[in-house]
Amino acid sequence: MWSQLYRNHVLMAFPTYDSAKHAWVPQVDINWFVGPSHDSTFVRFPVRFLTEDEAVSWALSRGQAWIDKHLERLQGRAPKRRRMFDMIKAFNQSLTTARPQQPPPALAAPKRPVKMSFTFDEFAHLLAQKRFTFSVKTLQKSYAALVKVKKTKRWSWAETKRKVMRAQQAPAPAGAPRRIPLSERAWGRIH
């Protein structure tokens, strides 16, 4: 017995030997499920073959052709149902390919450019306005500490600039030279 699964149908070839004609007769049993039950048909072909293998291969190929015609007949009986499924499929495809158009964003008042940084040059310039003179190394050390405190305490750039202004306004001890904060801790103490 030879079997094959084709389009949810099971084909079982049963060649028989015709001793009167000394040839093999191809025949096939086709089974398929219909809901909870199953259906079947037995097809015997009028041709004869000299070998059993030829009869089996011919029976299986003709069984597949029978299944194709059987399914075409079933589809022909329910054209409305097939059209309905085609329409549903087309609708689903249109949903996946359609792109809704977004309305243009509301025109708001023109935005002012916001300065998002307080550079080293601005820092040095701000201190030079008050006629303080510090070495570049001292300014760089102070600026680096200020930036670190800004990040850890999450100050805005405007707030950072205000801290520098307050540091300049702090009174210096009598007779002592003017100093700027050089550490994170010193910058953090300024209110």
**Which one of 3.40.50.300, 3.30.300.280, 3.50.50.60, 3.30.160.350 gives the CATH number of domain 2-84?**
3.30.160.350
For 154, the token pair is 């999450």
Tens of pLDDT along 127-151? Answer: 777 666 677 788 888 888 888 888 8
The structural domains of the chain, with segments of one domain joined by +, span 2-84, 120-189
- The whole-model pTM stands at 0.40
CA pair distance 171, 16, nearest whole angstrom:
117
Distances in Å between the alpha carbon of 185 and those of 57, 139, 142?
A: 91, 16, 11
Q: DSSP character for 176?
A: S
Residue 48 gets the label, from left (phi > 0), alpha (psi -120 to 50) or beta, of beta
pLDDT tens per residue, the chain (191 residues)?
A: 688 899 888 999 989 998 998 999 999 999 988 878 888 999 998 999 999 999 999 999 999 999 988 888 877 765 556 666 667 777 777 666 555 555 556 555 556 665 567 777 887 777 777 666 677 788 888 888 888 888 888 878 788 778 777 777 766 666 666 677 778 887 777 76
